[in-house]
Amino acid sequence: MIEFHLDARSGVAPYLQLIQQVRHALRLGLLKEGDRLPTVKDVVARVAINPNTVLKAYRELEYEGLVQPRPGLGTFVTRTLAGGDEAIAAHEPLRRELTGWLGRARAAGLDDEDVEALLISTFREFSEERAGRRG
């Protein structure tokens, strides 16, 4: 089971935030096929949000084929976004490498903002390059 949270200042519509959090959890393997999402009542009681917003997010996830409501039982995950066991197995060594890299960045005198900027710009360049090669 996952717990939702809401960032009021992000400018992202609340239902989109909920969708993103489910997708994120699916990607990280926190949610697997057959897992149950929290009930609408549980979500609203936790984050003080309009029930229709939660329903809308769940409908959207259902439309994407990620979840399936079962009447009287709840909403269940039907598909995972993590690239299979192999990809999940790769998470751990990759995370170790990244931690090592972060340690070196800190040792070189970069602060949090520097690290974040460097990560995002590199990630962007990398994505654009790949997209360019494909296109």
Partner 1 sequence: MSSVITTTGLTKRYGRRTALSDCTLHVPAGHVVGLVGPNGAGKSTLLQLTCGLLTPTAGTIEVLGETPHTGSPRIGFVAQDTPVYGNLTIAEHLRFGAHLNPGWDQALAEGRIAELGLDPAQRAGKLSGGQRAQLALTLAIAKRPELLLLDEPVAALDPLARREFLQGLMAYAAEHGTSVVMSSHLVADLERVCDHLIVLVNSRVRVDGDVEELLGTHHRLTGPRRDPSTLGPGRHVVQASHTDVQSTLVVRSTAPVDDPTWASDRLDLEDLVLAYMTEAGAHGRDRVLEKR
Which residues in this chain contact partner 1 in the complex, by CB under 8 A? 6, 8, 11, 13-14, 40-41, 44-54
By C-beta, is 52 or 68 nearer to partner 1? 52
| Spatial distance between the Cα atoms of 109 and 115, rounded to a whole number of angstroms | 10
Q: Which is nearer to partner 1, 29 or 42 (CB)?
A: 42
- CA distance linking residue 11 with residue 3, whole number of Å: 20
Cβ within 8 Å of residue 118, ≥6 positions away: 105, 110
Tell me the closest approach of the beta carbon of residue 9 to partner 1, in angstroms. Answer: 10
Rounded CA separation 121/132 (Å):
16
Decide whether 49 or 67 has the Cβ nearer to partner 1: 49
User: Could you tell me the smallest distance in angstroms from the CB atom of residue 57 to partner 1?
Assistant: 13
Report in angstroms the alpha-carbon separations of 135 from 50, 123, 125, 127: 42, 18, 15, 12
State which residue, 29 or 69, has the beta carbon closest to partner 1: 69
- Provide the minimum distance between the beta carbon of 70 and partner 1 in the complex, in angstroms, as a whole number: 18
State the DSSP code for 11: -
Shortest gap between Cβ of 80 and partner 1 (angstroms)? Answer: 27
